[in-house]
Amino acid sequence: MNRYTAKIISNERLNRDVYRVRIALKASGSEPAIFSAGQYLELFLPDGRSAFFSIASAPEQADELELHIRHMPDSEMNCALVAHLEQASEVELSMAMGQCHLSAAALSTERTLVFVAGSTGFAQIKSMVEHLLANQVTQPIHVFWGGRIADDLYLDDLARQWANDYSNLHYTAVVSEPNASWLGERGLLPDIVAADIQAPAETDIYACGSPGMVYALVDALEAKGISERQIHADVFAYAPRPKATS
């Protein structure tokens, strides 16, 4: 795995606690930075501590990477990282990791591709969707993005613009605790996704979010006849579900 020094280009607050950080890679040696849409990287603090974040930009923009980083005040490590990204001009990282990414076959399949994001899981979804759009795919794409309140959908306008610009892409925003002015879907994200799927055998799902959300989605989809083989999520690797004991 390659190690890089990256220049911090910008650090923009998107909502009450999510920042969009853009970085430009300065490779050690001559090897270019290569990643697949949907993979993640590891950011390092000067003291050696690290954290993992999905790459939110598509491989077509490999010279500049986008990250979506949530500030969690109760985490000392997270606070130190957020402060470093605000104050420093460079950051160390290694990349790329993760098995929940788009393969070359995804660009030519006729199967429906469903992308499900909880909160900042949208970063991983954004990379994959923008990669598909850059390659002018024609298969149906459905993006579901869920949050507790509308403000959690920090790039809602971007997702709506995708749906407006591409006839094969549909976007559904879901809020579990909406206020009276919310006009989108209301409820739990896994339930909304499962209810919408019309052709289970011809659908592949990419799920990005907390283990709780992903496994609730797996259960809801399996009840619709979708097998776990059709569902792609990094959660399966880093937070495997405990096996039931008899």
pLDDT of residue 69: 98
Q: How distant, in Å, are the alpha carbons of 8, 12, 213 from that of 69? A: 14, 10, 19
Q: Would you place residue 16 in the very low, low, confident or very high pLDDT band (cuts 50, 70, 90)?
A: very high
Q: Set out the domains of the chain in order of their start, with CATH numbers.
A: 2-97 (2.40.30.10), 104-238 (3.40.50.80)
- Residues 41-99: tens digit of each pLDDT: 999 999 999 999 999 999 998 779 999 999 999 999 999 999 999 999 999 999 999 99
pLDDT of residue 61: 86
- Residues 107-143: tens digit of each pLDDT: 999 999 999 999 999 999 999 999 999 999 999 999 9
Q: What is the DSSP string of 55-83?
A: B-S-GGGTTEEEEEEE--TT-HHHHHHHH
pLDDT of residue 30: 47
Asked whether the predicted pLDDT for residue 163 surpasses 50, the reply is: yes
- Residues 195-216: tens digit of each pLDDT: 999 999 999 999 999 999 999 9
pTM for the predicted model, two decimal places: 0.94
Neighbours of 136 (CB within 10 A): 8
- Residues 31-57: tens digit of each pLDDT: 667 899 999 999 999 999 999 999 999
Element (H, E) at 44: strand 40-44
Considering only CA atoms, which of 207, 36, 197, 55 is closest in space to residue 132? 36
Q: What is the DSSP string of 162-215?
A: HHHH-TTEEEEEEESS--TT--SEES-HHHHHHHH-S-GGGEEEEEES-HHHHH
